[in-house]
Amino acid sequence: MSCSRDELCRLTATEAVLRLKRGEITPLDLIDAAARRIAEVEPAINALPTLCIERARAHAERLMRGEGREAEAEPGWLAGLPVAIKDLADVAGVRTTYGSPIFRDHVPTRSHPVVERIERKGGIVIAKSNTPEFGAGGSTFNEVFGRTRNPWNTALTSGGSTGGGAAALAAGEVWLAHGSDHAGSLRRPATYCSVVGLRPSPGRVTRGTSNSLFSPLSVQGPMARTVADVALFLDAMAGECRRDPLTFEAPRRSFAAAVLSPIAPKRVAYTADFGGKVPVDRETREICAKAARRFEELGAVVEEAAPDLGNIAEAFLTLRSQHFVVERELMLATHRDQIKPDIIWNTERGLRQSPSELAAAERERAALFRRAFEFFAAYDLLVTPGASTPAFDVDLRMPETVDGKKLENYLGASLITAATTIMALPSVAVPCGFDRYGRPVGLQMVGPHRGEAGLLQAAVLFEQAMGLSSLVPIVPRSGAVPPAV
């Protein structure tokens, strides 16, 4: 079967892998198609600043010789599909900066465990995707590579911190993008770029080399253009890893198989703003409320309901600040002049916290998890907006206001996703429409404890009902910044 390079870039990951398995195309065909697409669109969006095309071709040639195929019969086999890895995860022999001038010229000799797993499953690393410095921020920019722009409107941000991956997917540069998520770093960029981003349950995917190995706040996960593609990539990533004490075995039934036979949720809870505790743009609330009602077409009962968040905003900031102390305290002492102000603020806030404040935050986190457990005894799915605002000015580090309320810090627009991070529950962002200025809007869906299979089943049914996944990839479009509301 002959396909043009443009046709290859428009394939879903699932379709591309099927054609690779059938021998209709080769990994080298896809690498060539991706390389050409990257050359065409990268000047407009700056999503994949570090390429490793020759390394990718060498890997493809090994696979085509029959080498490195020991996982071919396992779920998540990618068969030579090119992927992007977020520039927070090491790739052996490839420049990896973590978005920091401190590591501007860093080239690791060993890959991160999740990268090793992806490559073992037949994924071919073709590029590193741009990220904010050390992944901290809701807009993707850093002093090493500059700003990543949104393909839907290049005057706008692609979000953070997996903004490079989201933009690359929307522009057709890659079929799958690896990312990480702490306060919404897979879900918010997916929302801004009209793709799909999944935050898995803590322990579902290895975090490998993190110093915060016993904290459930940050996770690694998949991003793609469709729910089925996210399920495929999750299968490639999931499973026990001896370098991460929180990991556990992958399920016997693959996530890709689960989305092929989806079961609709019976009871769906929708909340726009968790009872007013989370600021959300008015038009975003209206679009998401209407989209949530689509579950009624699937036979579900949809009700306005949500777990009580309690004082989770303060608890999250306290726990995140402690996380920054673990990861950045020593670096702050030696490289303060090369670290951006938001990271310094977050770390120093953590250093000022008392044991009693940390204890209170832990109690609040535990209480919220218990309330969420009780909530999911009554509901199969919790649905919220995927972000508090649509994409904002690419030159800003955060939106200035949300629903007319001025933000106090760079985390102010992340609470809608940070709330479910604290619940330690899997959540996925799926496209659900566009605002009056043509900016993508997404729906966040949250499932019960380790409930990725059911969550992805609900998400794929919603995706089919909305019919938006075929809108990407797009050629990057220029535009203006909409007025602040």
Q: Averaged over 238-264, what is the pLDDT? A: 98
DSSP assignment of 254-306? -HHHHHHS----SEEEE-SSTTTTS---HHHHHHHHHHHTHHHHTT-EEEE--
pLDDT surpasses 90 at 252? yes
Rounded-to-integer distance, Cα 379 and Cα 266, Å: 8
User: Following DSSP, what letter does each residue of 93-156 receive, concatenated?
Assistant: TB---TT-GGGTT---SS--HHHHHHHHTTEEEEEEEP-SGGG-SSS-EETTTEE-EETTEEEE
Residue-averaged pLDDT of the chain? 97
Instruction: Find the radius of gyration of the CA atoms of the chain.
Output: 21
On whether the CB atoms of residues 393 and 141 are closer than 8 A, the answer is no
Give the torsion through C-alpha atoms of 154, 157, 161, 166, to 10 deg.
-40
Per the CB < 8 A criterion, the answer to whether 240 and 203 are in contact is no
Catalytic residues: 86, 161, 185
| pTM strictly above 0.95 | yes
Q: What digits encode the pLDDT tens for the residues 338-370?
A: 999 999 999 999 999 999 999 999 999 999 999
Omega cis (within 30) before 161: yes
275: left (phi over 0), alpha (psi -120 to 50) or beta: left
Tokens of 11: 């394939």
Average of per-residue pLDDT across 42-65: 98
CA atoms within 13 A on the CB side of 246: 23
**H or E element, residue 199:** strand 196-199
- Name the amino acid, one letter, at 401: T
Residue-wise pLDDT for 296-309, tens only, equals: 999 999 999 999 99
Burial class (CB in 10 A: 0-12, 13-18, 19+), 290: exposed
pLDDT for the residue numbered 5: 83
Domains in the chain and their CATH numbers?
7-471 (3.90.1300.10)
3-state secondary structure of 482: coil
CA dihedral 137, 140, 145, 150 (to 10 degrees): -170
Task: Take residue 381 and report the two structure tokens written for it.
Answer: 């799915």
Please report which confidence band the pLDDT of residue 409 belongs to, taking 50, 70 and 90 as the band edges: confident
If DSSP codes are grouped into helix, strand and coil, which group holds residue 62? Answer: helix
Average pLDDT over residues 462-470: 98
Give the pLDDT band (50/70/90) at residue 404. confident
Q: Centre a 10 Å sphere on the Cβ of residue 213 and count the other Cβ atoms it contains.
A: 15
The mean per-residue pLDDT over the stretch 445-471 comes to 98
